[in-house]
Structure 1
Amino acid sequence: MTDTLDHAKRALRAELRERRQQLSDAQREAAAAGIRDRLDELVDSLGATSVSCFLSSPTEPGTRPFINAAIARGIRVLLPITREDGLLDWTVATAEGQEIESVYGVPEPVGEVLSPIAVNDVDLMIIPAAAVDRSGMRLGWGRGFFDKTLGSMDRRPPVYAVIYDSELIDSVPQDVHDQPVSGVVTPTRVQDLSTDS
């Protein structure tokens, strides 16, 4: 990655992080409720019975209401566990699931650890993002876990990034290893995006 590209990504992430930190608790709760409803719609439209999702950090659009509702509906939900090699292990979410803070400062589930290939069987992947552009390119938070996971999959299911409405933007800086998504889920809509994958 060139210094210019790295600087552009860092600057955009810092701006987005600051915007997220400005949101009130009421705005976060409303966003989480909207995300739950939109993800429920997406799961229903795809007929998904097994999904991967993530435990949202305090500033991210909340995913826990969706995860709890999905478990109650009998949908199998896999949650990621970070590894030192940059890949992700997985565990099956449970209604009374416990979590810890990872070494990266993000919530991580506690449970029986499944290997990185466990995600190959899901019908839908729901992943975090800092922003996504209208062509489907995703800007993550710089650790590369989801880019590596997506890049290593032979058969990729639909992949949707969870973001706030204002984070669907015209373009994001991208590098060769960055992976596109199929669409985005915001508190107000599900939007499919054109990608080359």
Structure 2
Amino acid sequence: MSDEIATAKRALRADLRERRNLLSERERDAAAAGIADQLRALVARTGAESISCYLSTTTEPGTREFVTDAVARGIRVLLPITRTDGLLDWAVADDDLDIAEGMFGLPEPVGEVLGPIAVGDVDLMVIPAAAVAADGMRLGWGRGYFDKTIGSMEGRPPIYAVVYDTELLDDLPRDLHDQPVTGAVTPTRTVTLAASAH
């Protein structure tokens, strides 16, 4: 990665993180409800019976309501667990979701750990992002876990990144390892983007 791209990404991430930190609890709750509605509709539209999602942190657009609801409706939900080698393990979400603090302070499930290839047979992936561009490029938070996961998949399912409405941008700084997504889910809409991820 060139210094210029790395610097641009760092600056943009800092700005996006600051904006997220300024949201009120009421704004976050409203966003989480909107995300849950959008994701439920996306699952219905795609007919997904097995999905991967993640447990949102306090500043991310909330996904926990959606995960709880999906499990209650009988959808198999895989949740990521970070590893020291840069790969993701997975655990199946259940009714009494036990959560612990994982690497980087992220909320992660406690339970039977499935290896990195477990995500290979999901019908839909829902992943975090700092921002998404109109051409489908995704800016993550700089650790590369999801880029590595997506890049190693043979057959990619539809992949949607969850962001706030203000984080859908015209373009983003990018590097060779950055992976595109199929679309973005915000609290108010779900958009399929120009560059399909599969």
Q: CA deviation at 1:196?
A: 5.3
State the TM-score, normalizing by the size of structure 2. Answer: 0.98
Please list every run of 5 or more consecutive structure 1 residues that lacks an aligned counterpart in the other structure. none
SS of structure 1 residue aligned to 2:103? coil
Identity across matched positions, percent: 65
1:12 alignment counterpart: 12
Size of the aligned set, in residue pairs, is 197
1:70 alignment counterpart: 70
Letter in 1 for 2:11: A
Q: How does 1:95-134 map to 2 (within 5 A)?
A: 95-134=95-134
Alignment partners' CA distance in 2, 1:63 and 1:186:
11
8 Å contact from structure 2 (residues 181, 196) kept in 1: no
Alignment partners' CA distance in 2, 1:186 and 1:96:
27
Q: CA deviation at 1:103?
A: 2.2
Q: Deviations over 1:155-178 (max 9, x none)?
A: 000000000000000111100000
8 Å contact from structure 2 (residues 182, 196) kept in 1: no
Letter in 1 for 2:125: M
Alignment partners' CA distance in 2, 1:51 and 1:196:
18
Please list every run of 5 or more consecutive structure 2 residues that lacks an aligned counterpart in the other structure. none
Alignment partners' CA distance in 1, 2:103 and 2:161:
23
State the TM-score, normalizing by the size of structure 1. Answer: 0.99
Alignment partners' CA distance in 2, 1:124 and 1:100:
25
Alignment partners' CA distance in 2, 1:103 and 1:129:
17
SS of structure 2 residue aligned to 1:77? strand
Q: Deviations over 1:87-108 (max 9, x none)?
A: 1000000121111112212111
Q: Deviations over 1:53-94 (max 9, x none)?
A: 000000000001000110111000000000111110000001
After the TM superposition, which segments of 4 or more aligned residues of structure 1 sit over 3 Å from their partners?
Answer: none
The 1:36–1:196 alpha-carbon spacing in structure 2 relative to 1, beyond 3 Å, is closer
SS of structure 2 residue aligned to 1:104? helix
8 Å contact from structure 2 (residues 81, 90) kept in 1: yes
The 1:196–1:122 alpha-carbon spacing in structure 2 relative to 1, beyond 3 Å, is closer
